[in-house]
Structure 1
Amino acid sequence: MAPPPPGTLWSPPSIAPMMAVPGPLPVPDSDWAFETKWDGVRCVLSTTGDGSVRLTSRNGNDITVTYPELQALGGELRGRGVVLDGELVVLDASGRSDFGRLQSRMGVVNARRAGRLALDCPVHLMIFDVMYVDGLLLLDAPYGERRETLSALGPSGAHWSAPSYVHGRSTQVWEAVMRGGLEGVVAKRLSSPYAPGTRSAHWRKTKRVETLDVIIGGWTQRRGAAAGVPGAVLVGVTGPSGLRYAGSVGSGLSEREQSELTAYFTVLARSTSPFTDPVDVAGAHWVEPRLVAEVTASEWTRTGRLRHPVWQRLRPDLTRLD
């Protein structure tokens, strides 16, 4: 697509991001493209051609002031009116996204503070789609054509890039993601249009999860249930100094399992925390650390907590009730 005449100003539309549905990798995979799933926050970037940049969140909030290091992208795209879709991340030394560090950047509305944080903890925008270029809406264009347009724009800088995708070969892509310790894979139909604000089956996300055994050391009351019924369990892992707190797990617990745990907790109740480190959880109840559970999580946070933990099952083969 040829650049517009110098001095042209555009009025790019406000476009809500298209979202993926969770699910397994597609089989067969010949009609699909595969991208790395980055652990960050969604960002839609638009330019008017005069060098300025506007950033909006997935919910449509203006976050331009929060990430000043992305303003330079407006200079690279000067003269072009575009709307781009991507993920804001903070990369560690190995090139993996670090959500814990990104959290220090989120929600900052003071320009001076945002500028300081941009120097200490810069973000990187992973651009993976383009929905508008120089007055032309690309929503009906297939994904493959939109990616060709994005490639022609050539956004590449210290704080932004447009990582390539892989056509087919889902098994190899998944193995590479596992080896690299990345969050997962997003599969996109090559023929898919861009559907603003919708969660479309044309895009599918598959997340890497870690399965591990944890020890239950406490619980919190289930809201609206009878007294003694747990809504979440407080879990830990054994460390050099004892049982280290790893987080609260409530997602995935069935009513049958809650009832079973209620009976166990009555027998195992204690008055003090079995964890060696502080547990800042309101309304915590403590139990003897004898029950072992299997949970899944996306990763460990920098503070040693499980991220997105989900209950799988109690492990009676590892549990000690004697």
Structure 2
Amino acid sequence: MTLPRIAPMLATPGALPTAQEGWAFEVKQDGQRALLHLPGDGSVQLRARSGADITAVYPELHSLGAVLGEGVSAVLDGEIVALDQGGRSDFELLQSRMGLSGPPAKAARLAREVPAHLILFDALYLRGDTLMHLPYAERRRHLESLVLSGTHWSTPAALVGHGTQALEASREHGLEGLICKRLDSVYVPGVRSRDWIKVRNKVTVDAIVGGWVPGRGRLAGLFGALLLGRREEGALRYIGSVGTGWSERERAVLADLLRVAAVDYCPFSTVPPIAGAHWVLPRLVGEVGYATRTRAGFLRHPSWHRLRPDLAAEDTD
């Protein structure tokens, strides 16, 4: 059967709700968002946040298509992660799997080396009926009734009404943070809603790379710092530079990407007063941690965390 194509609902960055009784709290996973389509014939299709078909990338998840039983159709929402030795999601590990192209044998090999795990957290469509108009709490009951738990997928419980304790526990265990969801909220496809709030244990921003400055000494031939921006009212505003946070391998990979993206004009709305700057097409997105911002909006004490190949520059508004 043909299942509906649904754009995932998105969370708004923020702080814990003051009154927590009407909220559920889920661990914020550090992976790739995925919509799971199960038509009820034993097959499975995975679609990324962008809508791209990523089924072939994760062969270890294909057997999930037969778990619900013949004739049981569903569209489920979740996050594909790679787990570190402590059982925490590790985006850097997952990056070796994302955007994979090539023969099935390559995907199968990587599935053995870096196995993926699907964290399920919402049910949008089940047995021929849409569930998106139902409150979150009721959708969760439908999801949990499917009892989806296995080597490569699970349905972790959501904690209701105790967000402060949940956030403290996430810090103690080195987790990224929480997603807070109103128990009475409906699912609004493609919308970044205040009914879902993401609370990070670290202050980060998804920034667009608009240029770079050359490195010196041992970094000769590579970049020394990246020039960052954010989309504001259709323009790319410069928010500062970042010069730390990469491993040697990450720096080399980024240097190759910068060479491919080189242009001879500044993509920022106002040219930063930086000598020797090189400019690139503003399409690479990175997650950058920082302490605070200046009154002018520039990042203070920034540090590069990771490249975000799962985000397009348009998604960082």
| 8 A Cα contact 1:140 1:194, kept in partner | yes
Q: Choose from 78, 90, 104 the match for 1:98.
A: 90
| Aligned match of 1:42 | 33
Deviations 1:271-294 (A, max 9, x none): xxxxxxxxxxx849xxxxxxxxxx
- Asked if 1:32 is matched to 2:37, the reply is no
| 8 A Cα contact 1:220 1:231, kept in partner | no
Deviations 1:146-169 (A, max 9, x none): 100111111111000011000011
| 8 A Cα contact 1:219 1:232, kept in partner | no
Q: For the structure 1 residues 220 and 96, does the alpha-carbon distance in structure 2 shift closer, same or farther, using more than 3 Å as the test? A: closer
| Aligned match of 1:312 | 292
Q: Percent identity?
A: 45
- Asked if 1:146 is matched to 2:154, the reply is no
| 8 A Cα contact 1:52 1:74, kept in partner | yes
| 8 A Cα contact 2:228 2:242, kept in partner | no
* Count of residues in correspondence between the two structures: 242
The runs of 4+ residues in structure 1 deviating greater than 4 Å are: 216-223
Deviations 1:220-269 (A, max 9, x none): 6789xxxxxx97434349xxxxxx9xx9xxxxxxxxxx99xx6xx99xx9
| 8 A Cα contact 1:24 1:206, kept in partner | yes
| 8 A Cα contact 2:74 2:125, kept in partner | yes
What SS class does the counterpart of residue 118 from structure 2 fall into? strand
Q: TM-score, normalised by structure 2?
A: 0.68
Q: For the structure 1 residues 50 and 208, does the alpha-carbon distance in structure 2 shift closer, same or farther, using more than 3 Å as the test? A: same
Q: TM-score, normalised by structure 1?
A: 0.67
| 8 A Cα contact 2:13 2:199, kept in partner | yes
TM-fit CA distance, 1:143: 0.4
**Aligned AA (1:312):** T
| Aligned match of 1:76 | 67
What SS class does the counterpart of residue 120 from structure 2 fall into? strand
Aligned equivalents of 1:91, 1:153: Cα separation in 2: 23
Q: For the structure 1 residues 233 and 64, does the alpha-carbon distance in structure 2 shift closer, same or farther, using more than 3 Å as the test? A: same
Q: Which runs of 5+ in 2 are unaligned?
A: 205-214, 217-223, 230-237, 246-250, 255-270, 280-285, 295-317
| 8 A Cα contact 1:85 1:128, kept in partner | yes
| Aligned match of 2:266 | none
Q: For the structure 1 residues 234 and 166, does the alpha-carbon distance in structure 2 shift closer, same or farther, using more than 3 Å as the test? A: closer
Deviations 1:14-35 (A, max 9, x none): 1111111111011111110000
| Aligned match of 1:203 | 196
| 8 A Cα contact 1:11 1:81, kept in partner | no
| 8 A Cα contact 1:32 1:190, kept in partner | yes
Deviations 1:113-164 (A, max 9, x none): 1111111111000000000011010010100001001111111110000110
| 8 A Cα contact 1:221 1:283, kept in partner | no
| 8 A Cα contact 1:34 1:186, kept in partner | yes
| Aligned match of 2:258 | none
What SS class does the counterpart of residue 74 from structure 1 fall into? helix
| 8 A Cα contact 1:219 1:231, kept in partner | no
Q: Choose from 90, 96, 100 the match for 1:108.
A: 100
Q: For the structure 1 residues 232 and 78, does the alpha-carbon distance in structure 2 shift closer, same or farther, using more than 3 Å as the test? A: same
Q: Choose from 44, 59, 81 the match for 1:89.
A: 81
TM-fit CA distance, 1:195: 0.6
| Aligned match of 1:255 | none
Q: How does 1:184-199 map to 2 (within 5 A)?
A: 184-199=177-192
Aligned equivalents of 1:188, 1:222: Cα separation in 2: 31
Q: For the structure 1 residues 49 and 21, does the alpha-carbon distance in structure 2 shift closer, same or farther, using more than 3 Å as the test? A: same
Deviations 1:63-114 (A, max 9, x none): 1101110011111123210000000100011111111110000011322211
Q: Choose from 226, 230, 233 the match for 2:241.
A: 233
Aligned equivalents of 1:220, 1:84: Cα separation in 2: 38
What SS class does the counterpart of residue 308 from structure 1 fall into? strand
- Asked if 1:131 is matched to 2:124, the reply is yes
Structure exhibiting the larger radius of gyration computed from Cα positions: 1
| 8 A Cα contact 2:203 2:289, kept in partner | no
| Aligned alpha-carbon RMSD (Å) | 3.2
